Chain A
Amino acid sequence: MTEITLYHFLVISSLLFSLGLYAMITRRNSILILMGVELMLNAANINFVAFSHFGNFGASGHLSALVIIVLAAAEAAIALAIVLNIYRTFNTVNADEADKLKE
């Protein structure tokens, strides 16, 4: 087997990024698109950590990766709240329609 170099990690990150983008382009389900976004963020993180490791850039890549993880968590929290709210409004909308039909 060949020696593992930076390129191996970059290939993985490119694949993850493209898969995430594929989810965003072709899928219409919002949660699936959000999963695609998580894939893309992970790809960026792999880039940061891999470049930092092989390029000997010190801790700055690790710092960026940590920040991105924090931002992803914040985004996920807001996303769940919005999805919940949509679920609720859609249910009430359907209930309203049922009421109208009865009249």
Chain B
Amino acid sequence: MELTQNLHDLLSLRAELVLTAVILLLLGIELFSKGNKTLLRVVSLTGIGVVLILLFGESSTAQKLFIGSNGVPLMIIEPLGTFAKIIASISALFTILFMGINREDSTMVRREGEFMVLLLCTVLGVFFLSSSYDLILLYTGFELLSISSYALAGYNKRSSQSSEASLKYLVYGAASSAIMIYGISILYGLTGTTNIFIIQAILGSGALSGALLLMAIVFLLAGIAFKISAFPFHFWTPDVYEGAPTHFTAYLSVASKIGGFILLLRLILDLFFRKGFNSEILQPVSDLPWNDILIFISIGSMTIGNLVALWQKNIKRLLAYSSIAHAGYLLAGIAALNSTGLVAVLVYFAFYLLMNMGAFLVVILIKNEIHSEMLEDYNGIGSKLPLYAIALSIFLVSLTGLPPTAGFIGKFYILMALVNADLVLLAFFLFLNSVISLYYYVRVMKHLFISKPEKELGEAKQNVYGGVLTLVLAVPTIIFGIFFTPILRLAEAALKFYLP
């Protein structure tokens, strides 16, 4: 009987089940213990810890689940998806740790339980995005990630900025996912199924016309571009990043991006391209201008992101534009469409997690002391709060991609992939953009260390918990800049079913 088989397969989704159990447990604690904060934190952190252990345990296996009456699976647990799940879980772990320090609003602390529940729901959304092979299931995971994120962006309820951020995120997010589902509906019409494997087989037989298929793909990419904040769907990013509570901004910049990227990788590797590598370059299953589309989005995102960042006066907005630019760098790695590029994207993402979470952490810590996110108020922080200032500099240098930091390794691998794929123009743009980005990252450091404060800074001291967290993120950023082989091996292991 199929139902019993499916129920049995449901139990194989161990990480997802544990995560759901933790969500329900947190809800129960929130209800019955009047929001006991220590208990909430212990349960959520242990829960994510258990999920991470399970994920590492299954990180080298592949398992087909929910094989339907048509003989194709709905989900496959495989290493690439597990890599994305690990990134999302780690960023959720850090977000819960950051939550304790953020003092933007007092009522936020009281509603910590709800925040955790919604945060873990977004993680669950990424989990389903990572291992689903059915477009409707993928879309549902995508929506779970989005819907919980809309609520979380407006979590700082008493700030009009945060409310506006969530409204903007909701309106444009809903619109872009509606565009995406329209694309899926066209694809369904062309092939008669929503399953990725069957669609790939039909595309491979060459029975489909180009133009309508291209339309469907453009619509699909619109939804993905929104999630990874890539050009031309990047316009929401600065407002939402600025308005949302900072620890959630940190999470959004990493987890939401990995959700979008894993979906893009899934579509490229399993739907639109042939599995297995032919002479190092991926072969598209039907005749579509994939390279041109990806290169266009990539160059657009990095150029817009970096140019507009030059004029930003608010550090959160600056980091938002920098995250648009980073979406461009990562897309460049995918646009190479070769194995080096794919490994480079995963390596870069692992490092991006460290440096971006770190940068937002320091923004939270500094805001706690000086109550401002404006760059001109950062003058003189370097002498007052030396640890924070040095850590922020490390993260920014890494975001620029200079040695000896982790960011350099990531960018170096992407450049190498581009040169291997003969995309010299894109490589040139990437290099040029890194030079532009150097200017605004250094400007932040100038404010931190060189500019004299106009008025005397009040009481400001570094706290131990914040300092330890900063070090936890800053030290690996340097270490991985020198000993990067473990991450490289991890990325290669994640792609073991896709590499030659």
- Residue B63 CB within 8 A of the other chain: no
- B171 and A64 form a contact (CB under 8 A): no
- Of A17, A82, A92, the residue contacting B182 (CB under 8 A) is A17
A37 to B177 alpha-carbon distance, docked (Å):
9
Residues on A with C-beta less than 8 A from B343 are none
- A93 and B160 form a contact (CB under 8 A): yes
Name which residue of chain A comes closest to B195, CB basis: A60
- B171 and A75 form a contact (CB under 8 A): no
A90 to B162 alpha-carbon distance, docked (Å):
12
Residues on B with C-beta less than 8 A from A50 are 189
**Which bucket holds chain B's interface residue count?**
20 to 34
Q: Assuming the A-B contacts A57-B192, A57-B193, A78-B147, are A47 and B175 also in contact, with contact meaning beta carbons closer than 8 angstroms in the complex?
A: no
- Residue B385 CB within 8 A of the other chain: no
* Interface of chain B residues 170 through 206 with chain A (CB within 8 A): 170-172, 174-175, 178-179, 181-182, 184-186, 188-189, 192-194
A78 to B169 alpha-carbon distance, docked (Å):
12
- Residue B151 CB within 8 A of the other chain: yes
- Residue B159 CB within 8 A of the other chain: yes
- Of B154, B181, B184, B192, the residue contacting A85 (CB under 8 A) is B154
Main secondary structure of the interface of B (DSSP, over half): helix
- Residue B451 CB within 8 A of the other chain: no
- Of B158, B170, B194, the residue contacting A64 (CB under 8 A) is B194
Residues on A with C-beta less than 8 A from B188 are 47-48, 51, 57, 60-61, 64
Residues on B with C-beta less than 8 A from A21 are 179
Name which residue of chain A comes closest to B175, CB basis: A24
- Residue B402 CB within 8 A of the other chain: no
Q: Identify the A interface with B (CB < 8 A).
A: 17, 20-21, 24, 30, 33-34, 36-37, 40-41, 43-45, 47-48, 50-51, 55, 57, 60-61, 63-64, 67-68, 71, 74-75, 78-79, 81-83, 85-86, 89-90, 92-93
Question: Closest 3 CB pairs between A and B?
Answer: A47-B185, A51-B189, A40-B178
Given contacts A30-B171, A67-B140, A75-B143, 8 further A-B contacts (CB under 8 A): A37-B171, A64-B136, A68-B181, A78-B147, A78-B150, A78-B151, A81-B151, A83-B167
